[in-house]
Amino acid sequence: MKQFTSIHDVDNVEALIEKALFFKQNPIHSYLGERKVLGMVFFNPSLRTRMSTQKAAYNLGMDVIALNAGADGWAIETKDGVIMDGDKPEHINEAVQIMSSYCDLLAVRTFAGLQNRLADYSEAILTKFIQLSKVPVLSLESATLHPLQSLTDMMTIKELGIKKPKVVLTWAPHPKALPQAVPNSFLQWVTKSDAEVVVTHPEGYELDIQFSQDCKIEYDQNKAFEGADIVYAKNWSSYSAYGHILSTDRSWTVTKEKMALTNNASFMHCLPLRRNMIATDEVVNNSVVINQAGNRVWAAQAVLNEMLNYEKENQNIQNINEQGRFAYR
């Protein structure tokens, strides 16, 4: 795998999920990453992504350099053509080239600004990283997608061992405007599986059709929950009224009573989770979220492993070409 920014970078999704499950059983399988450096750049905070990806890299023998852009590094200007007389002393055009020169793989977390839909959905910062980096790039969540989370989610669903599960993605209330990255990405992956997928949210929270076209939309949350095997909760801000909070209706909070409508469903969430807003204490305490978050290590390890393998094969091809050239001489 050359890069990892969405499901479209993955040749064989099933094999990648299997690889993640394999690493869960055999964490130290090889030291493919020995003497290689993973750079991780965060434009936004992270607990799980940062620690699990670092742990995954260690399991493969890699060293890790993590940088919180703007906190432990200089604040980075990401737009071209601006007069840099504000609070950002560093420009992304130099920063990415330089950071990538210190690393063998470069990982980046960007975030939606939620002001301008076109700008967020063009993935300007991630695209800059891909264009300017001297080494392969992977996403630690971008403005519109979170593929490492989704791979983890698919692995966690697979572990539950339910054939053709009914999976319900439910919107839930939250006090701050959040991106659509997690639900977009989840739908991108789960609709490629054998699951029946239903999305439920208040009107106005319809996701970009490119992600929801293969799902049933049900505006009645109780109806959606009927017979569900998996309930995946997440808040997101509006896509149509871009970045706006249209509802904070707490009747959408996932409760024990609502879970009773399901087929004894497992409750999933990517975390962090605001208790008694997204779901009640009882629901969270009886959920699979800890295993789900734990699985982030194995998903990241599978992705890093595939990217290191690709680099190694490319290196081998280069070496063979070099040898051929010398032989010819």
The full length of the chain comes to: 329
Note whether 140 and 49 are within 8 A (CB): yes
74 is annotated as contributing to ligand binding: yes
274 is annotated as contributing to ligand binding: yes
Using CB under 6 A as the binding rule, whether residue 270 contacts ligand AN0 is answered as yes
**Token digits for 245?**
């909070």
Which one of ligand AN0, ligand CP, none is in contact with 179 (Cβ closer than 5 to 8 A by kind)? Answer: ligand AN0
234 is annotated as contributing to ligand binding: yes
Residues 6+ apart with CB under 8 A from 135: 100, 103, 104, 105, 106
Using CB under 6 A as the binding rule, whether residue 272 contacts ligand AN0 is answered as yes
Q: What is the CA radius of gyration of the chain?
A: 21
Which one of ligand AN0, ligand CP, none is in contact with 47 (Cβ closer than 5 to 8 A by kind)? Answer: ligand CP
280: Cα separation from own chain's centroid:
25
Using CB under 6 A as the binding rule, whether residue 304 contacts ligand AN0 is answered as no
Pick the binder of ligand AN0 from 181, 230, 259, 268 (CB under 6 A).
Answer: 181
Burial class (CB in 10 A: 0-12, 13-18, 19+), 65: middle
166 is annotated as contributing to ligand binding: no
Closest CA to 252 of 143, 181, 153, 168: 168
What is the closest distance, in whole angstroms, from the C-beta atom of residue 152 to ligand AN0 in the complex? 11
Cβ neighbour number for residue 152 with a 10 Å cutoff: 28
117 is annotated as contributing to ligand binding: no
Per-position x/- string for 135-164, each x denoting binding to ligand AN0 as judged by CB under 6 A, each - no binding: ------x----x------------------
Q: Which residues pair with 223 in a beta bridge?
A: none
**Which residues make up each annotated binding site for carbamoyl phosphate?**
46-49, 74, 109, 146-149, 270-271, 296
**Which residues make up each annotated binding site for N(2)-succinyl-L-ornithine?**
141, 174, 234, 274
Q: Which residues bind ligand AN0 (CB under 6 A)?
A: 141, 146, 178-179, 181-182, 270, 272
